[in-house]
Structure formats: C-alpha cells, structure tokens
A and B are shown apart, each in its own frame.
Chain A
Amino acid sequence: MSASSIMEPTVVSRLQQLLGREATVADPAKLQEVAIDGCAPQAIALPSSAEEIAATLRVAGEQDWVVVPVGGGTRLHVGRAPERVDLALSLEKLNRILTYDPGDLTISVEAGMRIHSVQAECRQNRQLLPLDTSAGATIGGALASAENGPWRAGFGASRDFCIGVEFITGDGFCGRGGGRVVKNVAGYDLMKLMIGSFGSLGVIVSANFKLFPLPAQTLTCLCEFDSLATLIEFRDWLLRSPLSPMAAEVVNPPAVEYFSDAAPRDPDEWAPPTAVAENAPAWQLALQFAGSDRVLARCRQELGEAEHRTLRGEEEAAFWRGLRNFEQRVMSRHRNALIFQVQVPISETSSAIEAASAAATDYNFLAAVIGRVTTGTFVVAFLTLAIDPPAVTQFASAASAFRSRLSKAASAVVLRCPVEAKRHFDVWGSTPIDLELMRKIKRAMDAKNVLNRGRFMVE
C-alpha cells in the first residue's frame, strides 16, 4: 500500500472538520482534474475566507501535507514534477469584487475571480484591467505565475499596475502589501514578492489594481518581413519613433498557423482544412494602436509600406485571442511540445529567437515563436515532429542547447514539457537573481515547506 493511500482518510476527515463537508472535495474524478504531472491530491479544499485558508495551512504544517494553491488551473503544469501532493487549495469560492471605485480607477478583487469576469465588470465603466492572459486564468493565478500577454508592451506587467495584495504565508500568517491607492510607499512592496512566486511563499487572497481608460477604438497593423533581421531593424526604428503601440508582437513563420480559432478534435488526427503555407509565410509584426481617427491615421502613415494588412473589429479580436491562447493551441496539436517562457534584454531578441530555432532543429523540433519585441518577452514552442518523435532525454538536450546560447541576463522557464522528460533537467533554468536570498525568503514565509513542495526553483 502506498503512503498516499494511507493518508487519504486523514486529509479528508481533517479537512471536513476544519472547513465542513461542503468545502471538502474527495471525488476521484475531480481530484484527477487538478492532478499535477500525474500526481493527484487526496482532497480539494474550498475555503471561503482568508481565515479558513490560514487555518488550513496551519493544519497542513502540523500534518506535513503538501499543499498546491489552485486558481483557474491554467498554469498548474508549470514547475518541477512534485513527489506528492496532499491537498489542492482551490480559491474558487473567493470570487468577488471587494470594492470597485470607477471614479478613482481602482479595483479590489478576490484571488479566485476569473480575469475575464473582472474585465467584463470594468468594461461597463469603459475601463480596462490590462491583465491579458490566456482564457480561464484567475487574478491570483495570473499574479502568482506572473503571466502576461501582448499588452505588457503598452501597459506594463502586473507588477506595474497591481497596487495591493493580501496573502496568507505558508505558516498561516496574514501578509499584506500596498493598499488601494495608486501611489503608496508605506512598508515593503510585497506585491513584487508575490508576483511570480508561483504559490511558493503564500496563498494570494485578494489583490488591488489600478485601472486604465478603455480605448474607444483600436486597430492592428500586421507588418510582414522576409527575415528576422529586417523585422528587428524595424523594431529598433519603432522604439525610437514617437509611436507607442499597446502591443507589438512578433510571430515567426511556423507560429502563424496556430492562430486559427478552429480547434482540432484529436491532436493525433489533426490535419489542416487546407494545405498550410504553400509559399513560406513571412515574419509578422503585429502592432495594436488606440486613439482617435486622426491618431490612428498618423500611426499608419508612420508605418508606411511596412504595413501589410489592417485588422479591425472581430478579425482583430480573433487575431489577439489566437495570440493569447497560443500555448493552448499548440498543446491541442502537439501534446508533447516543449514550451518556454523567455525573457531577454531587448537587444538580444534576435539572437534568442535564432538560438531557439537552431537548438530546435538540432534536436528534431521546430521552433514556433511569438512575443513582445519591445520588452523582450517571448513564448517559444519546440514542436515535436510527428515523423520522428524525440526521445525523452532529447527534451533536456534541446533545452540545454537553447539556454546555453542565451546570456546570463536571460531566463527561459519551461511552461510545458512531458512529465517523463521533466525528470531529466531543471524546468526553471538560471536566473539573474541571487538564489541564496530566494532560499532564505522561502524559509521565512513557509518554514515547513507546505506550499508547492518540490515544484519551485528554490526550496
């Protein structure tokens, strides 16, 4: 009998005592849904307050449970494969807007609320929370995983507009940083610490944001280039131009075909409805602009001949939806894809994309790349070729070949990778942030290593 099956009644019954029957899920099918790399928890807790989260974490510490906080479940696959998971702590009951002050352009939201619901609420007041993640992500999950999308170019990352956070540390203490006002330096900036910590320090309970006016109209200019070099040259011109696009995304030729809204039924049976790419598709740069007719006309005039096509309305929306859900679309066709979140200094954009293509080719993958050319933030998908699928160790070799071609300033975190391959290399890679300090912080916030044990970069 395995250790986990011995524990089963304990976790479930302790949890039922603590939170009640209705807040404890033990249905095996539901547990499978939150399994991480094949590792399902014994139970799912559905706390409905910060106090209940704290109480759960304190018990977890006493009982040596391993706890995984769960938001929308869209980023659960990120991290090392855990040895065991005892409890999934779902934030789904914490899903309300706490305060929304449209006059002040600020909002306070519980962590389990879906981002698209918050955005729908803001839209009614012609306001925008520019947290543009993949579909289904929650506020807490998007912060914990520092997920960002194309709008990072125009509005900054969540670290730039998250103005307050409340969380429970791994040992059950209530922590809070910032507040509800847009400018605030009272106390340490705990928002920065929680953003990107992947639930390894605390469970985010709620967060406050500064909002932006919703642009009255936008348009997207698709520019095409015959090579990466000419695209980068154009990007450098753009950075010195007076234009300030809301989004500036590169799409490399192999990535173009993943933008279609039509989802395949079975990844192993997928075939495009029509032949893909008879002529080699070009390198695309998608620029989204907002403003009045005059402003938009000026933007297009500045782009001149570089603009190949203009997208508006539903066509524009579909394009960006495809881009935001790039990772999911790739996975729906290549269940064994190796996908990285890459961050480089902007001058290394071209060398990083070339490094990805070269490393992919060397190990029988094909690199599809999208990303923010003005901030150096990319999603790089190493696609497996059906004709000659890679061996398990090839993922590790490809990742290390790619990473070795990046500078020390860069990070390349693996977002997706078959679990069998994960055991052969570190999904986190290197970082230009001191590891010893990170370890100390982890121990200070979660001394018993209850949260996401075995999964994050430091323990």
Chain B
Amino acid sequence: MFSFGVARKLRKIVGRDAVLDRPEDLMLYEYDGSLARGEPRYVIFPQTTEQVAEIVKLAGREALAIVPRGAGTGLSGGAIARTGGIILSFARMNKILEIDIPNLRATVQPGLVNLELSNALAPHGFYFAPDPSSQKACTIGGNVAENSGGPHTLANGVTVNHVTGLEVVLPSGRVVQLGSKAASAAGYDLTGFFVGSEGTLGIATAITVKITHLPEAVATLLAIYNDVQQAANTVVALTSEGITPTAIEMLDGWTLRAVEAAVHAGYPLDSAAVLLIELEGLREAVEEHAETVSELCRRCGAREVRRARDEAERQLLWKGRKTAFGAIGRISPSYYVQDGVIPRTRVPETLRKIEEVAKKYSLTIGNIFHAGDGNLHPLILFDARDPEQTQRTLDAGREILDFCIGVGGSITGEHGVGMEKQDLMCSLFSESEREVMKRLRECFNPDSLLNPQKILPSPRLCREAIAPNHASLEAPVASAPELR
C-alpha cells in the first residue's frame, strides 16, 4: 500500500515509536481549540532540527502537506491538517536549550510549554512576558506561529516583541537563521515577519526570546460594577488619562458567575461586571498608580475596588480569569470564542452591539475582554450537535466581527486567522494587498507544502464572500482602500 511506504520512510527518519498512522491514534489530532476538524494521514514526533529537515524533504517528494503543531490549543484551526498529510508534533522538541542571563535571552525548542520557561527563569529573577491564558499548556512554538498575546501584553507587548532570533526549516529542507541574540540586525527583519505567520512560511525549530526582569512590586485590583457600561467607560477613561496598567481585563456578570461556580476566585456574584487591573513596577510608582486607578474606577461608578492582599489572593483572581474558558466548558456543550479588536474608545458601544446580537440570534454570549487592548473575547454558547444552532452561532460571530471591522478594528488580536476567519480577510484586505501577502508567502513556501489553505483566502472564497466592487489585479491601485 502507498501509505505504508511513507510511514516506513518516516519511521526511518525518527524511529519506530515516533510515527502514528492508525486511525484510532490519528483521531486525537483531528482538532485543536477551534471548531474545525481535519484528518491527518500521519503524525510524527521529531527530536532534532535535522529530522525536521528530512521530514520536510520527504513530504516534498511525496507531495504531502505538513502542518506543524504545538499543544493544539489554538483557536483558529491553525494546527488542523486541512488537506490531510503530516502533522509534525513538537511534543518531543520541548527543551530549554540555553538560558543566557547576561544577554537577557533564552533559546528554546518550539515544543516547550510557555509557563515552563517562566518557571525555569524565576530562580534567576526573570520571566517570559507573553502569557496567553493557555500558558500552562500552549507551546512557545505555537506562540511564535500565532503571535500570541495574553492579559499582560498590554504593557509588555505580544510574542513578536520578545523574539529576536529563529532557526527555521524551510519547505525545501534548507535550515536558515533569522536573527540572533542581538535586538535587531541589518537587513530585512525576517524574524519579525515570521512571527505570526501561522506555520505558513517555515517551521521554527529553535527560538531565541527576550527575558524580562520580575517587577519589584505588583498591585492587583478588582473593580466591581453594577452596570457593565460603567466598566466599559472606566477602560476608556484609563486609556485617555494616560495610565498604563500591565493588564486590564473585563468579565461581565454572566461570565464571572460561571467562573465563580468553577474556581471560586472571589468574584462578587451579584455584580454586572468586574475589571481586573494589574500594575507593576517600582514600589513607589505602583502605590501611586493603584491610588489613581482606584479613584478613577470609583469616579466611573465602581461600587467597590478591592486590592489583592497577598500573592495567594492575587493568584486566585488570575486563576478565575485564565481558566474562564474551561469554566464555560462545564456549563455548555460547546462554545465559540471570538477574537475581535476595536479602538478602546469603542468598548461601550461594542458591548451594546454584542448584547443586541445575542438577542437577535437567541444565544447566550458571555464577555471576557483584554479590555486595555480593545481585544474582545465574546463567548457564544451553543450545542454543536444541533446544526441550526451552530449556524446561528457562526452568523452571530460573523456579525460581531463585521462590527469590529466597521469601527476600524480587526478580526483577530491574538488567535490568528487560521481556517476560521479566512473569508473575513476578504473584507479586511483588498485583492492587491492579499496578492502582496501571497507573493511573500511564496518566497518561503512556494508550493504551499506547509500548512496549506490557511490565512489567505482563495480568490473564489472572496468572490463569494464580498460584493464585486473590490480592487482588481489589473488595476491594483486604482481602488486601493484607505489605510484601516
């Protein structure tokens, strides 16, 4: 049998126990954190860069797609084997290669779990700043692919702000260096360009990241509101007052009650919304800002502002936030999480819009935001076994994202486009702009061997998705839209 031959060749590269090809084993790799599904033909667990290069060359000869995969926590279908082929799992390339304190860098393999890096750095007084809510499970390779964020990226920046060097295997099997331990380099910033490319340009096999000094002082505040609009107004006020906390998270009443039932984080059950605000830095600065922020929350209508008294209380408040998706999983058979971004001045009206959408489609939508960044995560509850309900859910999600685009925002702040939001790329970018992106992808991945059919929509999908008044390739600039 044809496939038997490939499996044998794959085993020759990585060893007998590092290739899966039985249907019952492959089933586990059909999904990620999104709603998408796709069946791989093989799952392979390389241990070295050389093995990855060999696998890529073999896949090229056999015309099999390769989809790199970290922990599979992605929320946009990035790690789904959409056209079959090989899932290249980094579960066994999960080591810290070097911690280099004098250079403030660490070099890691892509399969390393995000939190494990911070844990390893803690004794030195450092941590890795990007902290996606899934940081206990998600991998740094996945973070690089998706340019992951997290609550604390408001002040500290997302993954791309913390990556300075990459070792990458290209679809040709060639291993290239992009960047180093230096903060930047002469030439095109291909390190920065690679981060967030969702596995469509190359496969990162070693990642050099910046490490950050642990702050001297931290204050965690919980502002409690009887009206969700007052919480939204606080976010606007904090931003325009020029106060930059390290995190401003918002949970609406419905969501915080679901969370409270699961983890007892200490959120008040009778409130309409809470803001979880964190300040970091020099002791004196944190004290002053904590005062100012509390005062501002009250002025915007907070009925109470609590401050975590110790590290345990602080951890509990964060546990509530970071395990929120899991908590929702307890009470609903399925949920669909959106990742829209809006200018921060638009938070209040966007919340009203989401409420309207929930009513219109008769769905329950919980709201959990990285409010300081304007990054929304509306959680739409539904039952995936019911096709009609599923369709309504997708339509509701689409309407929310259309609204985000309409107010000058984006369709994804940190989860990626993947295969979930490809059609929306048609409304966000013109044909000419997508063509430029496609040409750049082809410089790295000319035959779409790597993670095919992700990010960029097919022209057909765009023709179906939007009205035919967009820029055409013959006259690429005549109808160039304004910079959004």
Contacts and interface: CB of A to CB of B under 8 A. Distances in A.
Q: Verify that A and B bind, or say they do not.
A: yes
Given A179-B410, A434-B190, A343 B185 contact: yes
Contacts of A164: 483-484
B153 interface: yes
Nearest to A171: B476
B227 to A, nearest CB: 20
A78 B178 CA distance: 23
A174 B182 contact: no
B345 A103 contact: yes
Contacts of A38: none
Contact of B187 (A196, A243, A347): A196
B413 to A, nearest CB: 4
B452 interface: no
Interface stretch (B111-119, B298-306, B433-441): B433-441
20 contacts: A51-B478, A55-B477, A104-B344, A105-B242, A157-B184, A180-B483, A180-B484, A182-B341, A185-B413, A185-B414, A189-B192, A192-B192, A192-B195, A242-B281, A244-B282, A345-B103, A409-B165, A432-B185, A433-B185, A433-B189
Given A104-B343, A175-B433, A181-B373, 12 more contacts: A104-B345, A176-B430, A182-B374, A183-B410, A186-B417, A187-B456, A191-B192, A213-B243, A295-B285, A346-B102, A434-B177, A437-B176
A328 interface: no
Contacts of B125: 240
Contact of A189 (B100, B147, B410, B432): B147
A406 to B, nearest CB: 10
A154 interface: no
A312 interface: no
A363 interface: no
Scoring B186, B375, B478 by chain A CB atoms within 10 A of each residue's CB, the highest score goes to B186
B374 A104 contact: yes
Q: Which of B103, B215, B217 has the most CB of A within 10 A?
A: B103
B368 to A, nearest CB: 15
A343 B182 contact: yes
Contacts, number: 310
Contacts of A377: 183-184
A10 interface: no
Interface stretch (A83-91, A257-265, A329-337, A440-448): A440-448
A455 to B, nearest CB: 13
B196 interface: yes
Contacts of B344: 103-105, 182
Interface residues of B, number: 99
Which of A173, A183, A243 gathers most chain B CB within 10 Å?
A183
Interface string B209-247: 000010111000000000000000000100110111000
A182 B413 CA distance: 9
A281 interface: no
Contacts of B171: none
Interface centre among A196, A206, A239 (most CB of B within 10 A): A196
B149 interface: yes
5 pairs of A and B residues whose beta carbons are closest in the complex? A213-B242, A192-B192, A409-B180, A242-B216, A54-B477
B188 A193 contact: yes
A181 B413 contact: yes
Interface of A: 50-51, 54-55, 98, 101-106, 108, 126-127, 146, 156-157, 159-160, 164, 166, 168-169, 172-176, 179-193, 195-197, 201, 205-206, 208, 212-214, 236, 239-240, 242-244, 291-292, 294-295, 298-299, 343-347, 375-377, 408-411, 413, 428-438, 440-441, 444-445, 457-458
A411 B182 contact: yes
Interface string B438-476: 011111100000000001100000000000000100001
Nearest to B198: A185
A186 B184 contact: no
Interface string B265-307: 0000000000000000111110010000000000000000000
Contacts of A168: 477
Contact of B480 (A106, A174, A189, A236): A174
With a 10 A CB-CB cut-off, give which of B147, B153, B477 has the most chain A CB atoms.
B477
Contacts of A432: 165, 177-180, 182, 185
A195 B189 contact: yes
Given A173-B477, A183-B370, A294-B288, A206 B197 contact: no
B176 A441 contact: no
A160 B157 contact: yes
B341 A437 contact: no
Contacts of A375: 183
B181 A409 contact: yes
Contact of B102 (A347, A434, A436, A444): A347
Contacts of A51: 477-478, 480
B79 to A, nearest CB: 15
Contacts of B282: 242-244, 291, 295, 298-299
A433 B341 contact: no
B80 interface: no
B413 A183 contact: yes
Given A181-B408, A186-B425, A187-B428, A292 B184 contact: no
Contacts of B242: 105, 126-127, 213-214
